[in-house]
Amino acid sequence: MNRRESAALPSPYFKEEHEALRAQIRRFVDSEIKPHALKWEEQGFVPREVLRRMGELGFLGIRYPAEYGGSEMDTLGSVVLAEELGRSTFGGTAITVLVHTDMASVHLANAGSPELKEKWMPDIVAGKAICAVAVTEPDAGSDVKGIRTTARRDGDHYILNGAKMFITNGVHADLYFVAAKTSAEARPSQSVSMFLVEKGTPGFRVSRALDKHGWRSSDTAELVFENCRVPAANLLGGEGQGFYAIMRNFQNERTVIGAMAMGEAQAAIELTLDYVTTRKAFGATLYDKQAIRQRLAELATKVEAGRQLVYYAGWLDAQGVDCTREVSMVKAYCGELVNEVMYDCVQFHGGMGFMRESTIERMARDARVQAIGGGATEVMLEEVAKRLVR
């Protein structure tokens, strides 16, 4: 009896619409990202016209309602987008898109008023209005309750004061979803609120663009709010609901970061296989060395395990299940694994792997932040640990 190859079998998670989306994104990556993204690395941002093109193709509204131009797909649609962008080998480009689609604009989609949604969601989906989320501060990262930016009600406005740090899309965004404390007396989890702040609002400015180790094509900034007057209508949800909104979206955010990491890891292994099967040393290819081929086999096994964990977490989220444990596992495992993969892939490229002209060198720099951003590995493991004992 002949056994079918596993790759020929339909996925238990993905439907035909997911696979069609994957094929479309992969074509876009090959034709419109890979040939040009080195220029974006040099200039420090992804051109606006590229994002608009992605909007035209429907990539920026995968999860959003059709009335705004979206496709109304589930969490696994975002997983497909993130994984394929990760496979592009340009982490900065990938995170530029994913912050817009799955980390920032969701705050408007989940908690914005009908008027705000009607005003902004069509442009967000079309790539005409680019989004950033501003939670992290110089003294508060994974500890959301520790933020110091304040928002004080003043008639029909709120007055924001404070600073935000490491904000992806921070230089070139049009809309900023900003976390600020609206109460000094409430419990920490009930003191944070979310606001939509438009670029050009008086009292709001980009303090400086930040120079990063990796993700060079992703613009990152420090933001400052000095008596910034924001209309009360731009409060997302009620006062004190910001912490819960941030926590709610962490399941989605960390799933797509994990998917992106596994896309990057798979691309790195494929790139390295191409190299070691052609590079010769001591009379044979590097792949003929048992230590190298077995290590690559081990890494491929781990990546397959990580990929399936991502898919499972995405599927759980699509079912409406609280999968905080599984998503935290995804973020911890995949963030560390992609760095493990990059380390050995650089090693197997030898001296070329240390050269700036090498793709694997750039990928290794980009991967380092995967164990930091969106929830550091140590924080994620604590989230898992809390749920091991019932």
Q: Which of 178, 109, 115 shows the shortest CA–CA distance to 144?
A: 178
- Taking the CA atoms of residue 9, residue 256, residue 102 and residue 218 in that order, the dihedral angle to the nearest 10 degrees is -120
The Cα 148–Cα 164 span in angstroms is 9
Burial group, residue 378, by CB count within 10 angstroms (0-12, 13-18, 19+): exposed
Per DSSP, the chain holds a count of helices (H) and strands (E) of 12, 10
Q: How far apart are the first and last CA of the chain?
A: 46
Contact assessment for residue 20 and residue 192, using Cβ atoms and an 8 Å cutoff: no
222 catalytic? Reply is no
**One of 83, 137, 222, 253 is an active-site residue; which one?**
253
Contacts for 355 with CB less than 8 Å, ≥ 6 apart: 361
Contact assessment for residue 110 and residue 250, using Cβ atoms and an 8 Å cutoff: no
Per-residue burial over 247-270, b = 16 or more CB atoms within 10 Å of its CB, e = otherwise? eebbbbbbbbbbbbbbbbbbbbbe
Q: How are beta strands 235-236 and 280-281 bridged, if at all? A: unpaired
**What are the structure tokens assigned to 219, written together?**
């613009």
Contact assessment for residue 178 and residue 154, using Cβ atoms and an 8 Å cutoff: no
The one-letter amino acid code at 148 reads R
Contacts for 156 with CB less than 8 Å, ≥ 6 apart: 231, 232, 233
Alpha carbon of 261 to those of 42, 148, 156, 256, 307: distances in Å?
22, 31, 43, 8, 9
Q: Which of 166, 162, 180 shows the shortest CA–CA distance to 208?
A: 166
Q: Which of 188, 308, 292, 226 shows the shortest CA–CA distance to 259?
A: 308
Task: Just list the catalytic residues.
Answer: 253
